[in-house]
Amino acid sequence: MMETSRPTVYIETYGCQMNVSDSELMLGKLAASGYTPVDVPDGADVILVNTCAIRDHAEQRVIGRLGELKRHMTATSIMGVTGCMAQRLGPQLLEKAKHVSLVVGPDGYRTLPAMVDSARNGQRTIATTFDMEEHYEDFTPRRFDKVKAWIPVQRGCDYRCTYCIVPTTRGSERSRQLPDVVREVEGVVSEGMTEVVLLGQTVNSYNDGTHDFADLLRAVGAVRGIRRVRYTSPHPNDFSDRVIRAMAEVPTVCEHVHLPMQSGSTKTLKRMLRRYTREGYAECVQKLRAAIPGLSITTDIIVGFPGETDADFEETLSAVRELGFADAFMFIFSPRDGTPATRMPEELTVPQDVAAERMARLVETVRAGARALNLTQLGQRREVLVEREAKRGEAMVLARSRDFRSVLVPGDATLLGQYLTVELTGTTGSTFTGQIVSERAALPLAG
Ligand code: 5AD
Ligand code: SF4
């Protein structure tokens, strides 16, 4: 085949928003080095899979996907694996998947263009060294989302939760300089975006040597043209009074916090090395609620952690009932090689069927709580930002309230990025339907 103008690159992303943000940085860097990003893998010169290692299931999916993507490769295409799985498995990945010629961990993207070039010249390359200084400050991300911008403010993690692989895959915690973050936020506003999400593994422990997370919220929140500031994910122990005050006082900071609880049992939390008790977590929730009226709280919960008894699990259920989460991500514990949880006594292992049954009960409990909460909100009004067209059903868009409720409203792509006032008219339990009530909805809408 004839060599055409610019080589193309396709990237597929798994895992958390930090990975999405990293993919945006990688694409930006490659675009600046002469590559053209494409939306489909078919025939792309470079196929990258940006991976997650958090649970075995996430890794298995990627392994399967690497096999599937192979059939989109041409004789000259190359495939690379980046992200947390690349960092964790390194050379094993080259062994496992012979068609992969590039393995790059989260701190190795600076030299990606050169590594891609050498892979295209037939060399297999691995880069998995940590770099405590690396923030990709001079990269220009190529953003996927046109409505809200992911802004990484911290990389790595200094906590050592015993179940978690992240300290191994992303190294030690480091924060970007506040002025650099503010400059990036000003940039996205000038591109027409009005919502930013600040990202970090324990984002509220942000500290650039001079400024803490409270300073960061105030600085970002004051950028001209910003209407919504969110962040994910905080750790309960890093909610200092200063941070809570900043969250309460800065009008652009949204009334939502995703606050991973992991378990409602102090005993289990201790084994997880979460460094707080059930009561400590509840106290954090109360402080946040007292300071921020209308705050909605979502969480992460793990079931089946080694040593979790029926009584421990009941404590998780009761915490869910007491704390009024608007939603939760729930996971069955997945042992990760090299983490302390894998070295706990064998007899502490929770059998899969027990874990699965607990999971089902937890899902039911979370759903029931969310449904009850949502029903109390019908008839209320919310300002929503239209994020995207709804997947199913015609002429509906998905919009988001400041308190992170999804609201389906009638409308089309012309509404993307717009703010509307809606009345919440119905709920499926997790999502709302809404009617537009604001004047600004001067567009072809039904009703
Ligand atoms: N098994 C199950 N869930 C996990 N998480 C992190 N590590 C594991 C693991 N080994 C969950 C936690 C975390 C979320 C991102 O993933 O709940 O908050
Ligand atoms: Fe997955 Fe954690 Fe890596 Fe994000 S940081 S991609 S959740 S392993």
Q: Which ligand is nearest to the CA of 301?
A: 1
Mutation test of ligand 2: which of 51, 128, 161, 169 has the most ligand atoms closer than 8 Å to its C-beta?
169
Mutation test of ligand 2: which of 11, 13, 18 has the most ligand atoms closer than 8 Å to its C-beta?
18
pLDDT of residue 100: 97
Query: Mean pLDDT across the chain, nearest whole number?
Result: 95
pTM of the model: 0.95
Ligand 1 center–CA 189 separation, angstroms: 33
Let me know whether 181 and 304 are in one domain: yes
Residue 445 within a domain: no
Q: Give the integer Cα–Cα distance in Å for 99 and 103.
A: 12
Let me know whether 289 and 206 are in one domain: yes
Residue 26 within a domain: yes
Domain span at residue 397? 381-438
Residue 168 Cβ inside 6 Å of ligand 1? The answer reads no
Let me know whether 101 and 157 are in one domain: no
Let me know whether 252 and 266 are in one domain: yes
Residue 19 Cβ inside 6 Å of ligand 2? The answer reads yes
Of all protein residues, whose CA lies closest to atom 5 belonging to ligand 2? 166
Residue 422 within a domain: yes
Residue 322 within a domain: yes
CB atoms within 10 A of CB 23: 25
Number of domains in the chain: 3
Domain termination residue (choose one: 127, 159, 184): 127
Q: How far is CA 253 from the centre of its chain?
A: 18
Q: Which ligand is nearest to the CA of 201?
A: 2
Let me know whether 256 and 371 are in one domain: yes
pLDDT of residue 218: 98
Let me know whether 111 and 199 are in one domain: no
pLDDT band at 391 (very low <50, low <70, confident <90, very high): confident
Residue 333 Cβ inside 6 Å of ligand 1? The answer reads yes
pLDDT band at 167 (very low <50, low <70, confident <90, very high): very high
Let me know whether 335 and 223 are in one domain: yes
CATH of the domain at 417: 2.40.50.140
CATH of the domain at 99: 3.40.50.12160
CATH of the domain at 342: 3.80.30.20
Summarised one tens digit per residue, pLDDT across range 24-39 is: 999 999 999 999 999 9
Let me know whether 20 and 118 are in one domain: yes
Let me know whether 51 and 71 are in one domain: yes
Domain termination residue (choose one: 59, 93, 127): 127
Residue 441 has pLDDT above 50, yes or no: no
Mean pLDDT of 279-286: 98
User: Residues 291, 295, 296, 298: is their CA dihedral positive or negative?
Assistant: negative
Quick one: which H or E segment has residue 388? strand 381-389
pLDDT of residue 445: 36
Mean pLDDT of 326-343: 97
Let me know whether 323 and 203 are in one domain: yes
Helix (H, G, I), strand (E, B) or coil at 354: helix
Domain termination residue (choose one: 375, 396, 422): 375
Q: Which ligand is nearest to the CA of 300?
A: 1
Let me know whether 69 and 160 are in one domain: no
Summarised one tens digit per residue, pLDDT across range 196-212 is: 999 999 999 999 999 99
Among the residue ranges 203-212, 366-375, 434-443, the one predicted with the least confidence is: 434-443
Determine if the peptide bond prior to 233 is cis (ω within 30°).
yes
Q: Give the integer Cα–Cα distance in Å for 271 and 189.
A: 43
Let me know whether 368 and 399 are in one domain: no
Q: Enter the tokens of residue 412.
A: 């089309």
In terms of DSSP bridges, do strands 78-83 and 46-51 run parallel, antiparallel, or are they unpaired? parallel
Ligand 2 center–CA 234 separation, angstroms: 15
